[in-house]
Structure 1
Amino acid sequence: MDWLDRMNNVLDYIEENLEEEIDYKQLAKIAYCSEFHFSRMFASISGISLSEYIRRRRLTLAAFELQKSDKRILEIANMYGYESADAFSRAFKKLHGIKPSECRQQGTQLKAFPKISFQLSIKGDTEMEYRIENLDFELRIIGKSNSVKTSRAFKTIPTIWSKAKKDGFMQELIDLSWENPKCSLEGILGVCGKEAAIMDEAFNYFTGVRYDGDAREGMETLIIPPATWAVFPNIVEAWKRLYAEWVPTSGYELANLPCMECYYGPGHKPRHELWVPIISK
């Protein structure tokens, strides 16, 4: 399968460049994947963040190097991307439980984190409902941007909305929402990635609403060009299954645009949807 081959090519590239600076944009290019989605896709299907995987592989190879060579610790630290022996020592001890200098003692127990490989397991026991929406017009969204750590996204984002409700910002968005909607994307929006790409450690979560009026004081404007979207009911469930189950078998690629969470008003079914930008292969 092309998708599987590309993801394993990414792992090969990482392995060949552990002694160099690894460019996440290049990884996304190898995977033929949007920069917006690559880090999140990697974490979803591997169970570990991209940066943590690279860190563990480097520290595994560093331990091998310490045991088999007489190179100075600082030289090995520099080889695997650490600018100081202290930073290397802290990271090494966090993974292996001992200092690098203790690694050279006979009988020392270490932890080896092997190179992973991706294999596709087709479950098929639970269907995923979705529809395709083609929006042939530009989306103008106004609101506010919030920095979110990727590893804490499922905890942080509800907190952002809770704060917006308490301080009146959510009601302000509701008051600005469309009276004459152009399409079914009408509700309070959470845009996952306002900048050019979602980085591995954090991303900007933009809370806002579609609005074509004059600029609003204290709010930013986000423009999303015309695009085709796969739309899934139930945001939490969709996020859990999107990258590992739907994308590999869908026949679509992810477009280089952010996903959008859409929260509808009372009485709407479904209550919320995940909008995912796609292009045909």
Structure 2
Amino acid sequence: MNRKYKTRIDQALQYIEENLSKRILLTDVAKVSHFSPYHFHRIFTGIVGETINDYIARRRLERAINTLIFKPDLSMTQVALGNGFSSSANFSKAVKLYFGFSPSEIRNPDKIKDSKIGKIYSKYGKDFNPSDLYPTRLTNEMTSAIYREDTIMNIEVRDIDGYRVCALPSTRGYESKAIYEAWDKLIGWAASNGIKRDEQQRFAFAFDNPTVTPIDKCRYEAAIVIGSNIQVNPPFNLSEIPKGKYAVLYFKGSPEETIKAQLSIYSDWLPDSGFEPDNFPMLEHYLNDVRVDGHIEMEIHVKLKAMVSS
């Protein structure tokens, strides 16, 4: 992809993310990207793979469902208005149509009697089950499988210095093949710039929740810590991990168990921690190579800020 096109589409995506709680006009997004509004929607669809309206609707719904789950103290109306819906009724209708379940069913999956299929399956081929959003609702059998002897978990709050990183996005979200391709390119790049493979500090920016977002639409960026003297050029991006306080969960287990470990931070630890997540994506700090060892060993980082009293 042409670098200028990608940069301008990235500006459009960033504008959308920052304004999901408001009304977003195509002309405004086109203006931010510096493309003609007459052609912007075709350029956006061609590069992103979704129409701009579909993209905005999907991101708004995904963020709303995450808010619904991880901020249970908020009312349906607060969740709806805070995520760009004009009313709780419109929010409920949109959620039911897209996910196949009402907001109250997603908040209380134990009350669901029948499995349902929403637009998310017909449009993206993704199964959606509200129970998957709640690690603490797992059966005893599943729990024992997750917390078996070789799966070790421990959370601590840690002050972390900022890092300068070179990043490379996965072209197909959380799909394994695309993730490995991104890492192979990035690891090779770092080695060619004098960072030995066994000395590389490898992080990943995990922007989305795959229990809500289709796997290939999840945003994932591989990243390696670099010194101030290293130049970064396309297709790689210069980025940073900001200094701050982070909840750090040590995890060792299978790739399939990772999402449950991540969600446990939000469902089991955060509510009583005195903190809330800061506006920064989840990080995965890899301590081994899953392709060599057959399991993942990593630290999951969630940037924190003090709880704001409502």
Tell me which interval the TM-score lies in, with the shorter structure as reference length. 0.3 to 0.5
Instruction: Point out the structure with max Rg over C-alpha.
Output: 1
Structure with bigger helix share is: 2
Return the structure number with greater relative CO, CA threshold 8 A, min gap 6: 1
